[in-house]
Each structure stands twice: as C-alpha cells, then as structure tokens.
Amino acid sequence: MTTSAPIRVSDVLRRPRTGPAVWKGVRPARSGAWVLRLSSAQVDEIDAALRAVRERGLPLLKVTAADFPLPTLTGQLRCMADELENGRGFVLVKRVPVERYSPAAASALFWGLGRHLGVPVSQNARGHMLGHSRDTGRTLADPSTRAYETRGRLPFHTDGSDALALLCLRSARTGGRVAVASSGAVYNALLERRPDLVDRLYRTHFLDRREGQVPAELPYLAVPLAAWHAGRLSMRYHRSSLESAQRFPGVPPLEPADIELFDLIDELAQSPELRLDLDFEPGDLLLLGNHTVLHSRTAYEDHPDPEPKRHVLRLSLALREGRELPDGYWGDTRATDTDSGTGTDTDSDTAAGPGRGGVTPRDEIAKRR
C-alpha cells in the first residue's frame, strides 16, 4: 500500500501568510483593480494580429507570440502574467470582441493572446492544447469525463498547471456563475480555526487522473495539497478527484480528519467573507493563477437550441516566470517521461521549461520511447 510521505517541520508554514495574494472577497470587489476593459485601439490591435495570422494561413497550434504581434498590449499581458504569479492571482479582461468572430477565429485570437501570457500545455492525454468548456451530456460517472465537460456544479478547486485562461464565447440560459477565492486566505483561516489539520495539507494525497494516463503510468497522482518552498505558499485542491481516487488499489483510504479538512476548505472558500463572485459574460477573458487562487462554477441550464449554448474556451498555461516548486509537486506517476506535459515553445528565448504541469499526451510519450 502507498503511504504518506513524512513531513519535515521546516516545510510547514505555521504563521499567517501576508501579501497581495492573500485577500478577502470584499476587498477586490470594492477596488475593481483586477478588471481591465479593452479600449477601441486595443481591440483594433488584436483584430490586426488575428488578420495577420489568418492571411499567412498558420495552423493554430504553430502560432507563437511573435506571429501574433501586439505592439502596445504585449506589455500589459506580461503584467497580467506577473499578477497571476506575484499579485492577487487573477485578472478579468472585458470587451474581447468575440461577437465579431466565428468559433475558429475566436479560438485563434484566444491562442494568440495565450502565447503572450505563457506556454500552453496539454489538457488531457489526447493532447488537446485548446479546450472547450461546454455541456457534452456526459457525467462524472464516466471515469474519463472531465468536470468542465458537464453542466453540473464545480466546487472550489484548482487546475494542474501554473495558470488557467478562460474566454467566454456564449453564456448559459441560467447559472454558470464563476467565483474565486484566495487560497492564502483559506490557509490563514485554517490556521486560525483548525491548526491541527494544517499538517495534512503537506502529506501525500492522491488525485484521480480520469483515465489520462498510459499503461506505464499510475491512474492517479501522488501530490501534496500545499507546499511552502522558496518563501512561497502554493496550494492545489480538487476534492472530487481526491475522492474518486479511492477506487484504485494501492490508494490508502481517506481518514476522518481528511474529510474534516476537505469540508473546512470547502466551507471557507465558499463563505461570503472570502469568496468573490464574478460576472463572467461573453467577451470576458478570465486569468487564474492556480497556485494562489481557487475557482468554482455554479450548475447551469443551457439553451434548448444548439447554437446559443454555453461555450467557454480554456487554456492551461505554464508561466515563463513561474515560481520554483519542490520536487514531486506535480505528482509522482511512475512514468518514464519527465516533462510533465509541457508543450514545446518555439520562442526559444521565452521557453517556460519542463515540469510546469499539464498532461503528457499519449503520442508524445510513445514518440520519446
């Protein structure tokens, strides 16, 4: 049976965390500093970059930041990436003119913006670099289904990469509201209310990979839920994957104290004091830093006709100036591959480097063998 790794006392943060990444919902709600509304000139700049890509006939996945020139926006996008890593951990960009474009053109626009923010990494073992969050009719009862492929409620969680970018093309008829919470604020509240549970964050836990592995790999990841490393607190949390991993032989059963910990994380993140609700509308680009921000989505009811159904594009990103993380943070899969699914960046001077999250595509593993 797999057992929890020992904890070194020096690896556990036992004092409240401070800094811009630690906030409560009311503070950013009042300031509005996390919202950027694109100007007409900035929209024109994006439009020109998209035309340049399409006129050259470049395949979407081959487009680099250099192929998508944004003379004035580039600096702002770099500041946004820095905000995800060193600031409050999220940014909402409004007025992206998605209504002008076909889904294919909107995807190219989104990819081009994403290449300025970081390096896209694969979102599943099929090698999908650009994902679609929409109701496929599947449920989590199917072990290969990803939560974003359903219309059910997504409780507060993080994703397995440095950052997540979401572009709303169409909203649902009702529901689908997005909220964020500072994982640093949740951590501080845990320290205050249940300091006896904090050490459990640093133990090895097990996340279901939802059939995103090849035969040589384990069907689950062995990971900590928190790391205090190089002066930074990083957290990851996905309760449904923690619980569904219990189906695998070799995964130790969750203890009552684990359930208490998960219940308290859920309660704190969802609380009005810590949670910030967002109006996520068509034309909104939401950027999330997974190491410092939890996010959620309410269940939704979609339109009866196919065309206006809710459709959100998603990118998992490795940040070029991403934080140093301890060995094993992304998960021990017993795989022969060591790149953790990081995509290849043709901008050699801005490569994010290996080991920044994502899912290693099956064909890439086969090629390396």
Q: What is the CATH number of the domain that holds 174?
A: 3.60.130.10
Question: 115-124, 212-221, 287-296, 339-348 — which is least confidently predicted?
Answer: 339-348
**How many domains is the chain partitioned into structurally?**
1
Question: 188-192, 213-217, 312-316, 342-346 — which is least confidently predicted?
Answer: 342-346
Q: Is residue 2 part of a domain?
A: no
pLDDT value of position 328: 87
Confidence of residue 177 (pLDDT cuts 50, 70, 90): very high
How far is Cα of residue 352 from the mean position of the Cα atoms in its chain? 16
pLDDT tens digits for range 127-151: 789 988 876 666 666 666 666 667 7
Q: Is this structure's pTM higher than 0.95?
A: no
Measured over the CA atoms of residue 286, residue 322, residue 228 and residue 123, the dihedral's sign is positive
C-alpha separations of 238 from 18, 30, 241, 244, 296 in Å? 24, 29, 6, 10, 11
Instruction: Read off φ and ψ for residue 109, nearest 5 degrees.
Output: -60, -45
pLDDT at 350 over 60: no
Q: Is residue 218 part of a domain?
A: yes
Question: 105-114, 295-304, 343-352 — which is least confidently predicted?
Answer: 343-352
Residue with token string 């934080």: 323
pLDDT value of position 351: 42
Q: Is residue 297 part of a domain?
A: yes
d(CA 232, CA 291): 10
Query: Between vectors from CA 318 to CA 263 and to CA 169, what angle results, nearest 5°?
Result: 75
Domain that holds residue 306: 9-368
Confidence of residue 341 (pLDDT cuts 50, 70, 90): very low
Q: Is residue 130 part of a domain?
A: yes
pLDDT value of position 133: 81
Confidence of residue 304 (pLDDT cuts 50, 70, 90): confident
Average of per-residue pLDDT values in the chain: 86
Question: Which amino acid, one-letter code, is at 293?
Answer: V
Q: Is residue 96 part of a domain?
A: yes
pLDDT tens digits for range 254-284: 999 999 999 999 999 999 999 999 989 999 9
pLDDT value of position 318: 95
d(CA 39, CA 18): 34
Are 346 and 146 in contact, with CB atoms under 8 Å apart?
no
Q: Is residue 115 part of a domain?
A: yes
Q: Is residue 1 part of a domain?
A: no
Q: Is residue 4 part of a domain?
A: no
Are 242 and 266 in contact, with CB atoms under 8 Å apart?
no
